[in-house]
Amino acid sequence: MPFRIPTTAGQQFSLPWIKYSKIDNPSTGWGVALRMFFEIAFFRSLFRNTKADILNGRLYVGSNKWLWIGALAFHYCFLIILVRHLRFFVGETPWCISLIDSIDSFWQIGLPMLYMTDIIIAAALLYLLGRRIFNPQVKYISLPSDYFPLFLILGIVATGILMRYFAKVDITSIKELTLGLVYLNPIVPKGLGSLFYIHLFLVSVLFAYFPFSKLMHMGGVFLSPTRNLANNNRMKRHVNPWDYPVKHRHYEEYENEFREKMKKAGIPVEKE
Amino acid sequence: MYDGWKIILGLIVFVIIVTLPFTMSIGKPYVQPKPSIDTPEIQKMEKKQCIEPKQYMREMHIKILYSWKDYATREGKRVYVASDGKQYDVSLQNTCMKCHSNKEKFCDECHNYVNVKPYCWDCHIEPKVGGVK
């Protein structure tokens, strides 16, 4: 990068006796690593989300954490659910997956035991969808590519919840199918309901859609130049790496070539 | 590509994580679950069928057991009428485990396979290995 892009939220490093913000406006690589960690693990930029409103003719700007809470709840639940599914894809489930499973279901409500993440992800998704439907400003800027992943993931969550708690499926046969894929020896067991295949289809659609959609923020967050570059513009010289030697010609050379012609035409020259 | 090694490192980490299910299975034999119904009680039966059809039991046994718990301990209802009209005692110990006396070769076979840990035996007495109560 020729220049760092310091969209900061804290005091820049300048003089040693001026206290500066090490995480929000880092000047070192380690500071950047911390900023990236907080960005990825806790959505720190979103935490600063504000909302402007006009009340009694005056403009007020206040902090608005709902989007941050909804996004954080959704992403972590999605991660836990994804990791939990590993029990269908490996022969012997590792203990850490079992641990996550038992913590997730530790309320021991009903049988099969209720996973908290199932409730939270459904609530978070409905909030994120409701925001796009009922908030006029957000509705105005929402595109099909915003709604589609929401509906897709809602469909996946809904079929998953239906299979686990209500319609019930033959889970042993499902694992025979998934392990068949893992061992590169695919089989299709009998007796699997359509609900499972709907779930599988929607997940496949999600995986196929992922690399071409806004969901690529999963990889893109690591490449945000405003987050992953240290703000050291004044400490180091940053040369544009795609600079190339520009072809140029001095006036002197030009005049040397055309001096005679210029004289004949009456154009003044610097050297005779 | 500037700072290319960072991108490539990230991609390598991503690929390793995504392929974990495959790499974790390398070298481990594939064991298919075979729940055994070879017990003395079942051998005596002429028509080897559980209280409901097999596929239904495979999918719904958890719901049946859960409702049986409420029938027996909360509502005092002790008779289950199956879909074919036959009547059964609502009792894990005396109905289910009478035939399926081989817990470790029947229940555990699938439960371990899909990593399910039912808490039946927190309250009920776990049958001893060998199938004798």
ipTM: 0.86
Question: Each residue of A156-211: pLDDT tens digit?
Answer: 999 999 999 998 888 899 999 998 888 888 888 888 889 999 999 999 999 999 99
Domain locations in chain A?
A: 64-216
A183 contacts in chain B (CB < 8 Å)? 25, 30
Predicted local distance difference test score (pLDDT) of residue A67: 94
CATH top class, domain A64-216: mainly alpha
Q: Looking at the DSSP assignment, which residues form a beta bridge with residue A59?
A: A54
Chain A nearest C-alpha distance from B25 (Å) = 6
Q: Looking at chain A, which residue has its C-alpha nearest residue B60?
A: A168
3-state class (DSSP) for residue A60: strand
Q: Do residues B65 and B93 touch, judged by C-beta distance below 8 A?
A: no
Domain locations in chain B?
A: 38-133
Q: How confident is the model at residue B133 (pLDDT cuts 50, 70, 90)?
A: very low
* 3-state helix, strand and coil shares in percent for chain A, rounded to the nearest 5: 60, 5, 35
Between the alpha carbon of residue A80 and those of residues A51, A52, B9, B13, the distances in Å are 30, 34, 24, 19
Q: Looking at the DSSP assignment, which residues form a beta bridge with residue B79?
A: B89
Predicted local distance difference test score (pLDDT) of residue A153: 97
Please give the backbone phi and psi of residue A50, each rounded to the nearest 5 degrees, phi first.
-125, 165
Nearest by CB to A169, from B30, B59, B65: name it.
B59
Between the alpha carbon of residue A124 and those of residues A19, A62, A214, B19, B113, the distances in Å are 39, 22, 18, 29, 32
Selection from B90, B87, B60, B93 nearest residue B75 by Cα: B90
Q: Tell whether B15 lies on the interface with A, counting CB pairs under 8 A.
A: no
Selection from A226, A259, A235 nearest residue A15 by Cα: A235
Question: Each residue of A27-72: pLDDT tens digit?
Answer: 888 999 999 999 999 999 999 998 888 999 999 999 989 999 999 9
A91 contacts in chain B (CB < 8 Å)? 25, 28, 30-31
